[in-house]
Chains A and B, each alone.
Chain A
Amino acid sequence: MTLSNTRPASGPADRPGFWGRLSGSGPYAALTDVLLASPRRQFAILLIVPVIWVLLTHLGPILQMINVSLLTNYPPGPNNVPTYTLEHYGKFFTDSIFIQPFLRTLIFSSVLTLTTLIIIYPVAYFLARHVRRDRQMMFLMLLLIPFWVGEIVRIFAMMILLGNNGALNLALQWLGLTERPIPFMYTGFSLSAGIIYLTALYMLMPLYSALEKIPPSLFEAAADLGAGPWTRFRRITLPLSLEGVSSGCTLVFLISTGVYATPVLLGGPSTTLFSEVIAGFFHVAGDQWPVGAAFAVIMLVTALLLTGAFTKLMAHLAGRVKQ
């Protein structure tokens, strides 16, 4: 290649292409002279848009929610100007009808997270270590397809399975295991089945990618050194998959605490979750917004603290076994 061929933009010499014409045009040159004057300025321009976006749209709504949770009334009316108060937070701690769904949500989400982990771990292990590489995608796809369908459609499918005239009851009656239909719907059972149906993928993906990364040579080396299957699992698989366990559990827990349509459609009066309580303040009169916002803040802070502590604990455990 001769030096004369190294033009700024490609294209034939006599007829420059779109980019050549653009970079040769006067307004573009004037613009880039200002925008790209120094690496420092280029960097500042590159960064300013993300920073503004993230502060205004990612952080802003959360801050405004906290702000509203401290106001006496919102939206502000013509003759009642809101002032700051802590009474909505007090309401949560003094009224037991709110504490109960709150605790139920936390216990329910924790139990479901653990259940999902126990069910999904063997599935992820089987996929990552016992299915041939070239067939893993196919096996994974079977699990992925249901997860592309939305929350509502999946809940509806669950309702058809579990209803009094549903497929499960029909099958049980046909087998002679029960005389009358068992009322699965609107119970903790139907709600759990529905939530696991929604969240399992978020457990599967982190676990699968953590397990898939473990080099098979480690197991061969351990076996050569005389480690049995249980020892290999305890000393290799488990410690190296802790990262996947950690992020999978975090995701599933956070999603379970925030589901709304699932408890409304699959749950009953005895399984009211905190998300339904929060939502209630937004459906009825508008002046209840601050209470709903305060309750949402309590839920958010609790969920983030719990998952944060859990992540720290898992990181600590993973660090200890590596030594």
Chain B
Amino acid sequence: MTRNTRILMQCIYWAFVLYLLIPLALMMLMGFKDSKFIGFPIRDVTLDWYLAVFQDSQVLNAMGYSAIIGVLSTAIALFMGTWIAVALTGRSFWGRAILLGLTLLPAVIPGVISAIAFRIAARLVGLEPGMWAIIWSHAIHNVPFVVLVVMARLSTLPKSYGEAAQDLGADPIITFFRVTLPYLTPAMIGGGIFCLLLSFDDFVRSFFLGGYEPTLPVLIFAKLRSGMSPEINAISTVVLVLTAVLGLWAERSMRGMKKRAAND
């Protein structure tokens, strides 16, 4: 590549970074505005909007509700995803490709279609809209991501580890818990945090499967529709900080895994 194209690409990269970060930075700034109306310029600043977030019981409830849904759906997705990954890795059998395809299916169904399909299915099994319906739909939607991460990790597990355990008399169940599972832990932590983020951020499934109690994204959506105020900026900023911390943690966990795999 010539020097000019390299500089051009560098410019595109930084322009893209600005496109991604400027809206979020403005959003955070606007949370400090001492006025009820969103919009520039910001003349006076205040911390009231941020302080109000931590006193608003509606916001705190929604946050707790989203957190419970996130944790429980992640637990289910991790359990099923790991089981499926173990069943799919290292052996070939009739129908493996079909099983893998069906496993990844929820990840490729467009959002609104997946949400209404879950809504209809929840009606079929008699699940009322509410917490459990949301947990169930988030868990199903997140399973493919766990499967992909765990399968990638599992494919680097040397076969000799399991064989050594079996030679020492461990049965397959004990081999799984004492050899395979510890080896998979970093992948499961990384995949789990990713699921947590997906669940915490999800709007469309929570919206269609939710009851009267809103999850945090649904609450923000409702507030947005009834009119913008810096209060929403403060809430969104809190969400942004929370998710960024979680995301960085997941990234660190996965990166450590790659480094260790390279050293093995």
Contacts and interface: CB of A to CB of B under 8 A. Distances in A.
Interface in A120-155: 120, 122-123, 125-127, 129-130, 137, 139, 141-146, 148-154
Nearest to B255: A137
Interface string B182-225: 00000000000000010011111001100000000100110011
Interface centre among B21, B23, B41, B224 (most CB of A within 10 A): B23
A145 B177 contact: no
Interface string A290-315: 00110010011001100000000000
A36 B115 CA distance: 39
14 contacts: A46-B87, A137-B255, A149-B243, A151-B203, A153-B201, A160-B233, A161-B23, A163-B39, A165-B39, A259-B111, A260-B115, A260-B207, A265-B225, A299-B110
Contacts of A303: 110
B119 to A, nearest CB: 7
Contact of A167 (B26, B121, B243): B26
B99 A54 contact: yes
Interface residues of A, number: 93
B80 interface: yes
Contact of B236 (A125, A137, A153): A153
Contact of A152 (B172, B217, B251): B217
A278 B217 contact: no
B171 A153 contact: no
B239 to A, nearest CB: 5
Contact of B174 (A23, A139, A149, A166): A23
A143 B20 contact: yes
Contact of B87 (A47, A59, A68, A125): A47
B257 interface: no
B51 interface: no
B40 A255 contact: no
B220 A19 contact: no
Interface in A241-279: 250-251, 254-255, 257-261, 265, 275, 278-279
A144 B251 contact: yes
B111 A258 contact: yes
A229 B236 contact: no
B2 A229 contact: yes
Interface residues of B, number: 92
Contacts of B174: 9, 19, 22-23
A139 B84 CA distance: 34
A156 B27 contact: yes
Interface in B83-114: 83-84, 86-88, 91, 93, 99, 102-103, 105-106, 108-114
Interface string B145-186: 000000000000000000000001111111001100000000
A132 B165 CA distance: 41
A239 interface: no
Contacts of A178: none
A58 interface: yes
B38 A163 contact: yes
A32 B112 contact: no
Interface in A22-39: 22-23, 32, 35-36
A226 interface: no
A229 B2 CA distance: 7
Contacts of B26: 157, 160-161, 167
Given A126-B12, A149-B24, A257-B110, A64 B99 contact: no
Given A58-B106, A130-B6, A167-B22, A160 B169 contact: no
A223 to B, nearest CB: 11
Contact of B12 (A32, A36, A119, A148): A119
Contacts of A7: 168-169
A197 interface: yes
A106 interface: no
Contacts of B220: 152-153, 156
A183 interface: no
Given A59-B105, A260-B111, A282-B119, A46 B86 contact: yes
Nearest to B91: A43
B68 to A, nearest CB: 17
Nearest to A290: B120
Given A50-B103, A166-B40, A64 B121 contact: yes
A51 interface: yes
A126 B9 contact: yes
Contacts of B2: 229
Contact of A149 (B5, B17, B120, B240): B240
A60 B40 contact: no
A318 interface: no
Contacts of A125: 9
A54 B103 contact: yes
A230 to B, nearest CB: 10
Interface in B239-258: 239-240, 243-244, 246-248, 251, 255
Interface string B112-130: 1111111111011000000
Given A19-B174, A229-B2, A153 B102 contact: no
- Nearest 8 Cβ contacts at the A-B interface: A258-B110, A165-B39, A150-B201, A8-B169, A157-B23, A148-B247, A61-B121, A258-B111
A177 to B, nearest CB: 16
Contacts of B221: 152, 261, 265
